[in-house]
Chain A
Amino acid sequence: MDMSALNPVAIAVALIVAATPLVFAAIGELVVEKAGVLNLGVEGMMIVGAIAGFAFTQETGSTTVGVLAALIAGALLAALFAFMTQVLMSNQVATGLALTLFGLGLAAMIGQPYSGIPAPPFPELAIPGLSTLPVIGPLLFAHDWLVYASLVLTAGVWWLLNRSRAGLILRAVGENHDAAHAIGYRVVAIRTAAILFGGACAGVGGAYLSMVAAPLWVEGMTAGRGWIALAIVVFASWKPWRAFLGAYIFGGVSIAQLNLQAMGVAIESQYLSMTPYLVTIVVLVIISADKARARMNAPACLGRPFFAAG
């Protein structure tokens, strides 16, 4: 085994890069689920965000425009989901699955001309003085601005859900939509807003993959990260900081298995590639074994359609 390939700082930085798209997607989906909607289309919204971000960056030369385009693309796809499930009352699970398939296909089609082109460099937000410090410099102060944005997003969502009236109303809608409606809250409008927010977050998460992590466009490059984001939300019991932690654990497992592969560990690489997904399943099974605890934080109306009965 070749241990010299292991550079702890480089691994830690790689971990952050691997985790950030998951943070965006998971925090977005967390807000959606807290409003009582189960959108299984995260994967589709991510990949559409990935190609939109990449394509707009290529065409305009501006990564900012690229990120904005990804945000809007994710939200547009989510708007389709919102229209189907909140207005036309279609089944959320089926619509979410369809959204994923649709998103994968759409992104592949748009992405044809962009295959194999390297992305322009993403600007890093190096903090002068601090970023050159050994170890903690590259670890804490030399990332692109999206990494910091993901932190701000997590903190913001935590504050919104737990400290603001808007968050209280959002949780109320997810907990008991009939009661929320009876008191006079506009359940469909609130849920639609949450769905759009979730889509925008997933879009940015996808763009992070194609613009920073890869950074190039490959068909199907989300590779199931949308599903992992969904799993993280449950694993985190719908708590933002736990979702953040979850994203870093899954990111960590992904990076660890890549490094193990690079070191030439005598395990078939296919098995190693499986590990992040296997860990997802194992963690989910362990968490959901304690049903009473899982239920306490789960939004009681999750996935249930709301009909305004007068």
Chain B
Amino acid sequence: MTALLSIRGVTKRFPGVIANADVSFDVQPGEIHALLGENGAGKSTLVKMIYGVQRPDEGTMFWNGAPFAPGSPGEARAAGVGLVFQHFSLFEALTVAENVALGLPAEQAGRDLPERIRRVSAEYGLPLDPARQVGQLSVGERQRVEIVRCLLQSPRLLIMDEPTSVLTPQEVETLFLTLRKLREEGVAILYISHKLEEIRALCTAATVLRGGKVVGACDPREETARGLAEMMIGRELAPPGAPSGTSGAARLTLTGLTAITTAQFGVSLRDISVELRAGEVLGVAGVAGNGQDELVAVLAGETPVSPAMIQLDGRHVGGLGPTQRRRLGLNVAPEERLGHAAAPEMSLTDNTFLSARTRMRLALRGFLRLGAARGYAAKVIEEFDVRTPGIHAPAGSLSGGNLQKYVIGREILQAPGVLVVSQPTWGVDAGAAQAIRQALRDLAAAGTAVMVVSQDLDELMEISNRFAVIAGGRLSAPRPAGETSVEEIGLLMGGKADAAA
């Protein structure tokens, strides 16, 4: 059998980095082929070459046995390659039909397009209304737009880059049904994901990349998730410590927290009441865009609410700003690393001032204590194993995982009474994610109340003592982590509070 896509000795260099070194593997028709690797292992570069965004420096690709060198995404699409982007390439202000039309050649984007969208989306169990504005769609629906856009071109190879990181478990199930149906029709799928359990359930072949090289190929159905992870990072994973389980007095109490937003795609928080106790990790699960950003902003003090809605150690702090809250011991690490948690152009030293100024006394009577700031930056770098040339490096020059370690470490070393973190391991590779989770657990064990807002259920299962689910701006009652199944959480995430009650 001729492979649909053969990659032979492909090498791609960037200034100072070899993204892919002599990569070779085959994708067969009707196969779901996993591409595994940590961040920076070279998966994205490889995908970009297959999709015609970049060209290999050396090596050849073959498509059904014939040399294949797409010069643009349009050429790759014409050959039969479809790509569902990790960060959707969608236009929020445009309608579903317009978004789909933009990804099709002009002759296929005629007046009958809305009808074809309806037909294809129904056929593959991905219901979509072509006339709706994409900005109003949920994340899962947006992904459907991407997939339908690919399917309309009858692809032979469908590349999915981290497709499930933003979906509820039920949405993941639906997606897998669609992918299996495609496989039966002979479509090959190149599947990129960090979620090893999913890969084991779905994929029939896997290629593992590390540092730009192929370090292994396997049948993921015959491997354990742990084995796959160790193949990816090239060393053994430290086993996670058990949740401490003990929790003390309430440190942070939310009472009827309500915050109505007027932002166009914002979510209003409605009547959230929850208690966060010393020594526990409370996980807040939910599909993106259900009020997580708003909740974190309210807790940080970026959105003030009426004072009694938030109590910190019995004090009403709802009306206080971020600096005053930090002084009292409530620290927040937001989701967006660059531009929110850290200023990209500023050095790591300067970035300490952003959140550690008050608690670590980095400023005195209006003057900066640069020595203290440098010392603090160096301490964070050392204790959290941040890989960087030094404290003078601009925050934007760090890789995602390293910057995440830095911004989380910057909060943890302030020994806050309450720490709220959002998406602590989003886009972070397995090794760094493990380190961050361990640090959060250690912090809780030392008596801090920790709240972790995340879309990664496996992560929350691993580190939380208690769970709550946010859906449509409402927070479910927390329940002990051990007593809740993934299915129940999935239903809650879909907003079906009674179904799981």
B264 at the interface (CB under 8 A from A): yes
B286 at the interface (CB under 8 A from A): no
Residue of B nearest to A171 (CB): B94
Residue of B nearest to A292 (CB): B264
The segment from B82-90, B239-247, B385-393, B451-459 found at the interface with A is B82-90
Contact in complex: A300, B92 (CB < 8 Å): yes
B53 at the interface (CB under 8 A from A): yes
How many of chain A's residues touch chain B, expressed as a range?
A: 20 to 34
B73 at the interface (CB under 8 A from A): yes
* Residue in A168, A184, A292, A300 whose beta carbon sits within 8 Å of that of B98 in the complex: A168
B263 at the interface (CB under 8 A from A): yes
Contact in complex: A183, B264 (CB < 8 Å): no
For the complex, give the distance between the alpha carbons of A217 and B404 in Å.
61
Contacts of B274 in A (CB 8 A): none
B18 at the interface (CB under 8 A from A): no
A182 at the interface (CB under 8 A from B): yes
B72 at the interface (CB under 8 A from A): yes
Contacts of A171 in B (CB 8 A): 91, 93-94
The segment from A38-46, A127-135, A173-181, A272-280 found at the interface with B is A173-181
Contacts of A300 in B (CB 8 A): 92-93
Residue of B nearest to A186 (CB): B72
B435 at the interface (CB under 8 A from A): no
* Residue in B101, B106, B264 whose beta carbon sits within 8 Å of that of A295 in the complex: B264
Tell me the count of chain B residues lying within 8 A, CB to CB, of chain A.
26
For the complex, give the distance between the alpha carbons of A292 and B135 in Å.
13
For the complex, give the distance between the alpha carbons of A242 and B92 in Å.
23
Contact in complex: A310, B53 (CB < 8 Å): yes
* Residue in B45, B89, B109 whose beta carbon sits within 8 Å of that of A182 in the complex: B89
Contact in complex: B92, A176 (CB < 8 Å): yes
Contact in complex: B73, A179 (CB < 8 Å): no
Contact in complex: A310, B48 (CB < 8 Å): yes
Contact in complex: B102, A169 (CB < 8 Å): yes
Contact in complex: B101, A168 (CB < 8 Å): yes
Contacts of B262 in A (CB 8 A): 292
* Residue in B48, B89, B93, B109 whose beta carbon sits within 8 Å of that of A165 in the complex: B109
Residue of B nearest to A166 (CB): B106
In B9-35, which residues have CB < 8 Å from any A CB?
none
Contact in complex: A168, B263 (CB < 8 Å): no
A194 at the interface (CB under 8 A from B): no
B478 at the interface (CB under 8 A from A): no
Q: Which of A175, A182, A184, A292 has the most CB of B within 10 A?
A: A184
A172 at the interface (CB under 8 A from B): yes
B344 at the interface (CB under 8 A from A): no
A296 at the interface (CB under 8 A from B): yes
B residues near A (Cβ < 8 Å) are 45, 48, 52-54, 72-74, 77, 85, 88-94, 98, 101-103, 106, 109, 262-264
A residues near B (Cβ < 8 Å) are 165, 168-169, 171-172, 175-176, 178-180, 182-185, 292, 295-297, 299-300, 310
13 extra A-B contacts, CB within 8 A, seeds A179-B90, A310-B53: A168-B98, A168-B102, A171-B94, A172-B102, A179-B89, A179-B91, A180-B91, A184-B74, A184-B77, A185-B102, A295-B264, A296-B264, A300-B93
9 contacting pairs across A/B (C-beta < 8 A): A168-B94, A169-B102, A171-B91, A175-B93, A180-B89, A184-B52, A184-B74, A310-B53, A310-B54
